[in-house]
Amino acid sequence: LEFLSAFKEAFKAAFTEQNIKSGFRATGLVPYEPQSVLSHLNLHLRTPTPPIVEIESDNWTSKTPQTIRELDFQIEHIKNRVIRHQNSSPTSINDALSRLAKGAQVMMHSAILLKAEVKALQAANEQKKRRERKRPYGGGK
């Protein structure tokens, strides 16, 4: 409460009609003097630089895809890069293709290993079923 009463007194002392008018006068706003205002501004006229057109794929870094979604994205990216390629170095495209191929190889190896694992599990299940069929009920006594 002490602060509010002190603030109110300071506000009344600072924001007098005379102070407000002199502030507008000093800036050249009242009376209206645009040249006075403009002369105080530090402006340098220049031709604006054209906006940078960012192509999202140019910010993309080639890496080995780990998922189908990443693989699909990389395929589209490479297709677009090939379409836009004009007399520039093919190094980035070749790098992206190498990463894509590596990702495809990793996925193929994983698929082969998973198929072998499934086949082994199916064989183990089949053997277990055969053993259960041979075993007589009641413990064999």
Whether 16 is covered by a domain: the verdict is: no
3-state secondary structure of 20: helix
Q: What is the pLDDT of residue 125?
A: 95
Whether 20 is covered by a domain: the verdict is: no
Domain enclosing residue 63, as ranges: 59-134
Asked if 96 and 81 count as a contact pair (C-beta separation under 8 A), the reply is yes
Cβ-based neighbour number of residue 106 at 10 Å? 13
Q: What is the pTM of this model?
A: 0.40
Whether 1 is covered by a domain: the verdict is: no
Per-residue pLDDT of the chain (141 residues), as tens digits, is 789 989 999 999 999 999 988 888 887 777 777 777 777 777 777 777 766 544 444 566 777 777 778 888 888 887 887 777 766 677 777 787 788 888 888 888 898 899 999 999 999 999 999 888 877 665 555
Q: What is the pLDDT of residue 124?
A: 95
CA distances from 102 to 75, 92, 95 (A): 13, 15, 11
Whether 118 is covered by a domain: the verdict is: yes
Whether 80 is covered by a domain: the verdict is: yes
Q: Please give the tally of structural domains in the chain.
A: 1
